[in-house]
Structure 1
Amino acid sequence: MYDYIVVGGGSGGSVVASRLSENPDHTVCLLEAGGPDKSILIHVPLGMAAMLPRKINNWAFETVPQKGLNGRKGYQPRGKTLGGSSSINAMLYVRGHKWDYDHWASLGNEGWSYDDVLPLFKKAENNERGGDDFHGSGGPLNVADLRSPMGINNTFLEAARQLQLPMNDDFNGATQEGVGYYQTTQKNGERWSAAKGYLTPNLDRQNLDVITKAPATKIIIEGKRAVGIQFKHNGKIKEIRARKEIILAGGAFATPQLLLLSGIGAAKDIQPHGIEVVHELPGVGENLQDHIDYVSAYRSPSKETMGISLGGAVDIFKAIGQWRKERTGMLTSTAAETGAFLKSDPNLEIPDYQLHFVIGMLDDHARKTNLGYGFSCHACVLRPKSRGTVKLNSANPSDAPRIDPNFLDHEDDVQVLLKGVKEMERILRAPAFEGIRGKALYEMDLDSDEAIIEMLRNRADTVYHPVGSCKMGTDEMAVVDPQLKVRGLEGLRIADASIMPTLIGGNTNAPTIMIGEKAAEMISTDAQQQLEMA
C-alpha cells in the first residue's frame, strides 16, 4: 500500500514521483512500462539517431491510414524507458508561446495562464546562462547551449538574414518569433532527461519505489474511487493500492488507452471490446492533436554536415573518442540545432509555424538511409485545427492503441503548411547556401501550389508532439478539471501531455515537465489541507 501511485515514468511522471517523495511522510510508487534508462544510446545525445527509427527504447507506434496523407500510415515513436520520450527525443528546450497558456485559461482553465505557469517553468529549470525574468537557476532540469554546434548552422542563419528574417537568441524569452539556436536539455555533453534530472538523484529515497518493465493493465475502481493499479511484472499480473491518489502519466497514447481498458470512457468505445463500462466519460481518447510536419532534404558537398560514407564513419569514430574524453564533439549534437518560429501572414499576432534545421539528410524519420553528406529542414504547423482520436484495437493491454491523428483534415492546416514549406525553401535556396546545396532528395515544384500540396500529402508526418487526448476543461468533453482530477471519479488525476486542451506552439517536452510540476504542487496542497482538517 502506497500513498501515491504514479503510472508512467516519462516527462510528467518522473516529476510527480520525485516531487511527491520530497515529503518523507509520502510513500510513492512509480510504475514504468519500459526498462531502466541505462542504455548508452540514451545518454549520448546523438544516440537518438539509432533509437528514433527502431524499437530501441521506443514503442515505435503506427497510426491508422490517414486520409489527409493519401492513405499512408504515420509513424509515432514514443519513449519506452524511464524518462519516456525525454530519453529519446532531440532534447530541444522550448516552452511554447505566452499566448498558448493564456488561451488555456480563457477556455475556463483557471490557474493555467502564462503568469501562472511561468514560475513552474522557472522552478523546473537550471539554465546555464543563469536565471532572469524568464529563466530559472537551480532546478532539476538542466538547460544548456550546444557544446559543439556544426558550422552548417551559420549558413542557415545567414540565409535567414539575407531574407531579412528576425534573429532570436532565446525562443523562451520575451519574444518567440525569429531564427536562432535552440537550447537543449543537456548537461556536460550528455542528455538530461526528466528521469536524469528528477529520478536518478533520488532513487535512494526510502519512500520512493520505482518499478520498471511493469506496464499497467487496469485501474481498479471501487464505487467512484480509484484505489489501485493492476500491472504486469516478471510475467505475472500484480496489484498495488493507493491510500490517497493515483496519477496517470503515460502520455497522449497510453493514458487514454489505460482508461478505456479500465472501463472509463464512452460506452461506444468500450463495450465492443467486451469491457464493462465503469464510468461514462465521452472525452477519453478524443481531441488528439499533433504537429504535422514536412521535411526537405538536400545533398551537400560540405563536410560541415553529417553523412553516411567512409569519411563519415571515420568522423564518427573520432567523435566517439572525443565524447569519451571531453564530452564534446559531434556526438553531443541534437541533430536539429537551429530553427525558427515564423508567421505565415505578417498580420498574425503570433508565429504559426516552426522550422527545425537538421545537420544531416533526414528521410522518413531516419528509417531510410542515403549515402553521402547533406542537410534537412522541418516545417510544422504549430496550432493545427485537425482533431484525431486514440482508441482501443482490442481488450488486450499488450496491443498498441488505435492512433488516428487525422492529419491535414482541416484545410487551414494544409494552407499553413504550404506557406511554411515555401518559406523554408526560400531559406534553403538563399544565396548563403550556394555551393553548399546539392540535389534535393525529393524535387519540389515551387511554382505550383497544387504540386506542393500533393507532395505534402505524400510525405508529411508527425514531428513527435501528440497531445490532448484527455483534455483539461470544464465542458462535457473534458476528461480532467483544471486541478487535473478525472471528472466524476475520486483519487485519480492525469499529469501528462494528454491534458493539454490545445497544442502549444512549440516542442512539448518542457511543457509536459511543467504540467508535472503543477500537478505535484496541487496534489501536495490538497494533502496538506486534508491533514489540517483531520
Structure 2
Amino acid sequence: MSRRALIQAGIAAGLSAPMSRAWAQAVDVVQASAFYDSRQLEAEYDYIVCGSGSAGSVVARRLAEDGDATVLLIEAGGSDNHPSILNPSVWFTNVGTERAWNFHSVAQPGTNGRNVALPMGRAIGGGSSINGMAYVRGHKLDFDRWADITGDTGWNYENALSTFRRIENFDGPADPGYRGTGGILTMQKDNDIQPVARALRAAGPAAGLAAFDDINGAAMESASFIGHPDIKVRDRQRVNVPADYLYPILDQGNITVITGATVSRVEVTGDRATGVSFVWNGETRRVGARGEIILSMGAIHTPKVLMHSGIGDEKVLRKAGVRTILDLPGIGKNLQDHTQATCIWEFREHTPPAALLFSQSIYFTNVGGGDRPDINAVQLQIPFPSERTAQDYDIPETGWSILSGLANPRSRGTVEIVDDNPETEVRIVSNILTADEDMRAMRHGIELARELGASPEMRDFVKREVMPGPITGAELESYIRDSASCYFHMSGTCQMGNGPDSVVTPDLKVKGIEGLRIADTSIMPEITMVPTMPPAVFIGERAGQLIRSSS
C-alpha cells in the first residue's frame, strides 16, 4: 500500500490527518533497506541529490514527495540497517569502520603537533546514523546572524522556529509557542536521566547557568543555560533523519536510492551543471539532470567534488592538476568545528556507563563578555581523554566527563585536493586553537567546568578530579592543546553570502553555475552553537522550498 493510501486509510479509521501521516511513516529499517539499489538506473532524472545525510534526505523527500518529479539520491555508504547504527548504546563504535569517513587533519600547532580525528557518517543517513543523537535546534543568534550575513530574512530565527514547529513530532510536554507535534521529524524528551546528569543540571544556577526544562524552548533565546537535550531515539532505537523523511516515500516509484556510489565530479556544459559522474559497483557511471543537482555530502566531500569538477580556487586546482572551469576561491576555505577539551572525575562509587550512552546534560554560556554564548559543553558518563592525555593521567575505570567546547570558534581551516584523482584523500588543515580568542574562551571554559565539578551538588559523584587539576597559565594552555579534539561538526567550506569568499548565494545556488545548489553544513557562514544535525535539517527544508518555488 502506498503512503497516500495509508494516510487515507488512517483518516477513514478515525485518525486525525497528522496522526495518519505519522502512522504512514511507520516503515522500519528492514523494509526501507529493500528499496535501496532496487530500481534500474535511468539515464536522466529531474533532480539528483548527492548525499543522504541530515540535509540530503530532507531535500530528496521534499522534491519527490508529491510524485511529480523523478529524483535520484546517491549515497557513498551502505544501508543504515546495521546493529551499531540502530543501537544507541554502541553508536561510537562506528568510528573507524566502513560506516564512517575516517578523516584526520594534518598535524597542527594548535594541538601540540597532533592530528585531529574528523569522522563523518558513511551510510544512509550520513552523520545522523552515527552521531550522539542529541537534538538541539539552534540558538536565536545563530539564525539571525545568517540572515544578517546573507541579507535574506528566510534564514532568520523567526523562520527557523516556524519551520521546526511545522516539522516536529515532539514526544514531550506541550509548548505550542516553541514545539511542534504531528510533524515529520521525530524526537523525544529523554525520560531516563541519570543521577550524575541531574546533579550537574542542579549545579548550574549557582554558576550562572539558568536551568531550563526544555532545552529547545525559550532556552535557545538565552545567553546562558543548562538542561537535558532531546534525543532522536524511539523504542530504544536510533531514529536517523531518513527514517523520518525517506522511508515513507520509498515505494512511490519516483525516487531511486543507490548506495555504495561515490560521486567523482559534477559534469558542467557551458555554465550549467548537467549531470554527475560516480563510481558504482566498480564502474564509472554518468547520469544527467533535467532540472537541478544538489550537493549534500558535507563540509569535506562537497568542496572536494566541486574542486575535482574544476570549480574552486584556481591556484589550488592548478597545483592539483585540475583544469579550472570556474575560479571560486572560497571553496574549501572557512572550515569550522566545535573544538573541545575534557575534564574528568572519578565516581565515588563504581558506576558503569548509562545504558544509552550520550550526553544527558548540556550547557551554553558566555565567558568572554560578548552578546552570545561562546562555550557549549556536554557531560558524558564515561572518562573521555584524548590519546595524549590518556598517557599522561591515571584514567579510572569508571568516571564522568565534561567536554567544554567552543560555541563560536574564530579559528578557520581549509580543505584542499592534492591531485586530480577523485579517490585521493583531501588535505585538511583544521587550524583549531590558532586564534587567541579561542584559547581565552577555552581557558575560561575549563575553569567553569572544574567549578561545576567541585560544586556541592556533585559531591556524591566525585572521588577525585582526574584531570586537568589546579593548573594555570602556560601549563593549562598546553593541557588544552593536548586534550583538544572536535565534536565532528565540520562546517563552512562552501559558505553562503554576498562577499568575495562566498560560494553560494542566499538561495543556495553555486555562484556562476546554473542548475547546481548546495544543501549541507558546508553552507554555514558561521557554525551554529549547537550540534549541527537539526540545523542541517532546516537547511534541507529551506533548500527544498527554494527549489520547488523556482521550478
CA RMSD of aligned residues (A): 1.9
Q: Residue 69 of structure 2 aligns with which residue?
A: 26
Cα pair 2:294 2:519 within 8 Å, conserved: yes
> What is the rounded CA distance, in whole Å, between the counterparts of 2:428 and 2:273 in structure 1?
26
The 10-residue stretch of structure 1 (517-526 or 448-457) with the greater mean CA deviation from structure 2: 448-457
The 10-residue stretch of structure 1 (141-150 or 262-271) with the greater mean CA deviation from structure 2: 141-150
Cα pair 1:302 1:374 within 8 Å, conserved: no
> What is the rounded CA distance, in whole Å, between the counterparts of 2:233 and 2:410 in structure 1?
33
Q: Which amino acid aligns with 1:36?
A: S
- Kindly provide the CA deviation profile for residues 54-107 of structure 1, in whole angstroms up to 9, marking residues without a partner as x: 224111210011121111100111100011001111111112211111111111
In the TM superposition, residue 234 of structure 1 has moved relative to its aligned partner by 0.6
Q: Tell whether 2:456 aligns with 1:434.
A: no
Q: Which amino acid aligns with 2:120?
A: R
Q: Residue 219 of structure 1 aligns with which residue?
A: 266
Q: Tell whether 2:192 aligns with 1:148.
A: yes
Select which of 360, 379, 383 maps to 1:337. 360
> What is the rounded CA distance, in whole Å, between the counterparts of 1:25 and 1:484 in structure 2?
23
> What is the rounded CA distance, in whole Å, between the counterparts of 1:188 and 1:367 in structure 2?
36
Select which of 115, 123, 126 maps to 2:158. 115
> What is the rounded CA distance, in whole Å, between the counterparts of 1:372 and 1:37 in structure 2?
32
Alignment of 1:413-492 (within 5 A): 413-446=438-471, 448-492=472-516
Q: Residue 381 of structure 2 aligns with which residue?
A: 359
Cα pair 1:470 1:498 within 8 Å, conserved: yes
Select which of 341, 365, 370 maps to 1:348. 370
Cα pair 1:283 1:470 within 8 Å, conserved: yes
Q: Which amino acid aligns with 2:149?
A: L
Cα pair 1:289 1:387 within 8 Å, conserved: yes
Q: Residue 64 of structure 1 aligns with which residue?
A: 106
> What is the rounded CA distance, in whole Å, between the counterparts of 1:428 and 1:198 in structure 2?
40
TM-score by length of 1: 0.90
Select which of 310, 322, 335 maps to 1:263. 310
Alignment of 1:7-26 (within 5 A): 7-26=50-69
Q: Which amino acid aligns with 1:468?
A: G
Cα pair 2:204 2:226 within 8 Å, conserved: yes
The 10-residue stretch of structure 1 (93-102 or 204-213) with the greater mean CA deviation from structure 2: 93-102
The 10-residue stretch of structure 1 (42-51 or 257-266) with the greater mean CA deviation from structure 2: 42-51
Q: Which amino acid aligns with 2:458?
A: F
Q: Which amino acid aligns with 2:413?
A: G
- Kindly provide the CA deviation profile for residues 220-279 of structure 1, in whole angstroms up to 9, marking residues without a partner as x: 000000000100111110111100000000001110000001110011111122111111
In the TM superposition, residue 449 of structure 1 has moved relative to its aligned partner by 2.7
> What is the rounded CA distance, in whole Å, between the counterparts of 1:354 and 1:14 in structure 2?
27
> What is the rounded CA distance, in whole Å, between the counterparts of 2:255 and 2:351 in structure 1?
46
> What is the rounded CA distance, in whole Å, between the counterparts of 1:511 and 1:366 in structure 2?
32
Q: Residue 38 of structure 1 aligns with which residue?
A: 81
Closer/same/farther in 2, CA of residues 147 and 278 from structure 1, 3 Å limit: same
Closer/same/farther in 2, CA of residues 150 and 393 from structure 1, 3 Å limit: farther
Closer/same/farther in 2, CA of residues 413 and 360 from structure 1, 3 Å limit: same
> What is the rounded CA distance, in whole Å, between the counterparts of 2:550 and 2:215 in structure 1?
34
**Other structure's SS at 1:244 match:** strand
In the TM superposition, residue 362 of structure 1 has moved relative to its aligned partner by 1.5
> What is the rounded CA distance, in whole Å, between the counterparts of 1:32 and 1:366 in structure 2?
35
Cα pair 2:263 2:277 within 8 Å, conserved: yes
> What is the rounded CA distance, in whole Å, between the counterparts of 2:372 and 2:231 in structure 1?
23
Q: Residue 123 of structure 2 aligns with which residue?
A: 81
The 10-residue stretch of structure 1 (142-151 or 420-429) with the greater mean CA deviation from structure 2: 142-151
> What is the rounded CA distance, in whole Å, between the counterparts of 1:368 and 1:124 in structure 2?
42
Closer/same/farther in 2, CA of residues 444 and 486 from structure 1, 3 Å limit: same
> What is the rounded CA distance, in whole Å, between the counterparts of 1:463 and 1:344 in structure 2?
20
The 10-residue stretch of structure 1 (125-134 or 14-23) with the greater mean CA deviation from structure 2: 125-134
In the TM superposition, residue 121 of structure 1 has moved relative to its aligned partner by 2.1
**Other structure's SS at 1:61 match:** strand
Cα pair 1:7 1:32 within 8 Å, conserved: yes
Q: Which amino acid aligns with 1:82?
A: I
In the TM superposition, residue 336 of structure 1 has moved relative to its aligned partner by 0.9
In the TM superposition, residue 303 of structure 1 has moved relative to its aligned partner by 4.4
In the TM superposition, residue 335 of structure 1 has moved relative to its aligned partner by 2.0
Q: Which amino acid aligns with 2:450?
A: E
Cα pair 1:46 1:334 within 8 Å, conserved: yes
Gaps of 5+ in 2: 1-43
> What is the rounded CA distance, in whole Å, between the counterparts of 2:166 and 2:414 in structure 1?
33
In the TM superposition, residue 25 of structure 1 has moved relative to its aligned partner by 1.1
Q: Which amino acid aligns with 1:417?
A: M
Q: Which amino acid aligns with 1:64?
A: V
Q: Residue 15 of structure 2 aligns with which residue?
A: none
Cα pair 2:201 2:226 within 8 Å, conserved: yes
- Kindly provide the CA deviation profile for residues 317-363 of structure 1, in whole angstroms up to 9, marking residues without a partner as x: xxxxxxxxxxxxx54x2421111111214x53322111101011122
Alignment of 1:292-311 (within 5 A): 292-306=339-353
In the TM superposition, residue 435 of structure 1 has moved relative to its aligned partner by 4.5
The 10-residue stretch of structure 1 (175-184 or 465-474) with the greater mean CA deviation from structure 2: 175-184
Closer/same/farther in 2, CA of residues 456 and 305 from structure 1, 3 Å limit: same
Select which of 535, 539, 542 maps to 1:511. 535
**Other structure's SS at 2:543 match:** helix
Gaps of 5+ in 1: 307-329, 528-534
Q: Residue 532 of structure 1 aligns with which residue?
A: none
**Other structure's SS at 1:64 match:** coil
> What is the rounded CA distance, in whole Å, between the counterparts of 1:371 and 1:232 in structure 2?
46
In the TM superposition, residue 207 of structure 1 has moved relative to its aligned partner by 0.2
**Other structure's SS at 2:293 match:** strand
Select which of 130, 141, 147 maps to 1:99. 141
Q: Residue 191 of structure 1 aligns with which residue?
A: 238
TM-score by length of 2: 0.87
> What is the rounded CA distance, in whole Å, between the counterparts of 1:337 and 1:193 in structure 2?
18
> What is the rounded CA distance, in whole Å, between the counterparts of 1:400 and 1:39 in structure 2?
26
Q: Which amino acid aligns with 1:203?
A: L
In the TM superposition, residue 147 of structure 1 has moved relative to its aligned partner by 3.7
Q: Which amino acid aligns with 2:425?
A: A
> What is the rounded CA distance, in whole Å, between the counterparts of 2:370 and 2:230 in structure 1?
26
Q: Residue 275 of structure 2 aligns with which residue?
A: 228
